[in-house]
Chain A
Amino acid sequence: MNTEIISVILILLITLALAIPLGKYIARVYAGENTFMDVVFNPIEKLFYKVSRIDSAQQMNWKQHLVALLTINIVWFFLGMLVLMNQGWLPLNPDGNPSMSPDLAFNTTISFITNTNLQHYSGESALSYFGQLTLMFYQFVSAGAGMAVAAVLFSALRERTSDKLGNFYEYFLKSCTRILLPISFIVAVILVFSGTPMTFDGKDAITSLQGDTVQVSRGPAAAMIAIKQVGTNGGGYFGVNSAHPLENPDFITNAVETITIPLISIALVFALGYYLKRKKLAWMIFAVMTVGFLVCLIPTIYLEMNGNPAISRMGIDQAAGSMEGKEVRFGSAASALWAILTTCTSNGSINSMHDSLTPLSGMFTMLGMQINAFYGGKGVGLLNFYIFIIIAVFISGLMVGRTPEFLGKKIEVREMKIAMLVFLLHPFLILAGTAMSSYLIYVHPDYAWLNNPGYHGFSEMLYEYTSASANNGSGFEGLGDNTPWWNISCGIIMLLARFIPIIGPIAIAGILAEKKYIPESAGTLKADTATFGVMVLAVIAILVALSFFTALALGPIAEYFSIA
């Protein structure tokens, strides 16, 4: 068998083998049990609580959790705007890069606090090292905040009736220190020894062997690259993200970076199983996610390895696959794997240019973000999946004529209303945004923000809003998106798409947690069975197909038929 395919299979197996023990560890962290990290982090966390006047033993209900989450995010927003709009004169700016314009700073700040990391700029020329390090701070804390809300969900799903769901600051800080930090540090060390820069020196001017004079951008990159992968952030140090040979020097670093994309998201699923002592439920969720993921992955690998049909017709050797926008050291299969993982998990880092993917591969990357629950982002992937479970429970309940229940709690009108609103928000933001931009560019062709004509141009806009609304951050980067329209519209969409899908599921879980616990009986719909898994998958397929099929038909599907 081809070594590229073997490598892809090995990478996926290693990921699973690491995710299961990590899930067990995460469950222990959130349950407040002792772990081997206590020695290092207990004193540090105690100090932080003391300085911040936080009583980490104080139990919060779901509303208090959300207030704490939103308050700290507002603080982050102002801090980000302040730094990005003043970085030009702040320290650590050896290349003399300028401060950001207000609209770009608005977009960038929101992009990083929402764990999106959509980048309407190139790191080499638009950020000082101080700006980069500040963004790295958001990569830790936004991922930590997402994981903290997943911990609230865990706490709410327990078999009991209570409004006490743990302490937000404790979940948040432990996620950052005990989970994100150690993994990031290991990855950063691997990168540094593979040739990724970690220096405060500025650009280096060199003369090439052939005699051209060029410059090479550097910086404290390794630290940031590690957390952008581990925290499903995706905002790279260099403009082209992990396609850059300093950001991702070889096949091994690529494997390490690929593994860290879904690692914690998968581990959280197993953590749920250990935490609730419902391992079968965790395996059901994992299986549904994996089936969905493979449905996107397998055709994408096939299509990319097969090459661009329009170039095949020119009669050259396409054995390497579709290589436009790809790096030789990764090859087509590993690039396709990354493209699907990064979009399914809301990561948004890239190791090849998605704009140059063959049309249907581009569609599968968009589908991954439109579903946004096959592994999904840090914590929020599980919340999105929870919404699909609630809808599936409700529909199954109607089909068999029983009151819908999930884990011993009755699901009633109020919860269903919230679930439907949360689900509908995502297609609404994506389609409304794309429709408005399509209209604008039709009326004002002089805006000229499209890099490609025809169906593919439409796909560029559809992808951008899909990415913003999925809090993903990758792009069809040909789109000229550093304009006030794109900066502001994407900024608003990222904000809504981050917080409403957190508030909704936490509200549902919080309301359910306060309800009376009904022990399982013969009439209970069992959530941890294959039958129910199929049901969830069917609900996802139907809802997402109904929402997005027409838009995909106008973009990637039409493009596919035009060049096939």
Chain B
Amino acid sequence: MKGIFSVLVENQAGVLSKTAGLFARRGYNIDSLAVGETDNHEISNMTIVSTGDARVIDQIEKQLNKKVDVIKVRRLKELQSVCRELLMMKVSYNNTTRKDIMEVCMIMNAKVSHVSTKSMIIELNASPDIIESFIKIIQPFGIIEMARTGVIALQKDE
């Protein structure tokens, strides 16, 4: 199963490595990890996505809670949260493919941020499953390079 953890941590040197180290040491997977300051500059928010069986996901939450630098751990449910990820990719094009690529971008709400004579940089801000399908669709056109931020998420209020 998938576990999405929203973790508030002290914004201090070494906290990221301590948290990531915990995953490595205990053999937990990190599917993605995104970290940034919150509105309080002393606190950072880490969004960690992991997979494992129920006991593992449960242990991750407990082990994170045990860390002194961890202020709060929340386990987010995908349907009850807004999950977003930013994707950037450089795609090669020619006169025949350009139009098709643009069309896909339009349908999926992706934005072309830069164009050169041979390639364009596309950005897409969407939920992880849309990002995945966008990559699949663009793949045949020739992805030169690609970067993803990893998921960040917030829980919806009732």
Q: Does B associate with A?
A: no
Interfacial residues, chain B to chain A (CB-CB below 8 A): none
Interfacial residues, chain A to chain B (CB-CB below 8 A): none
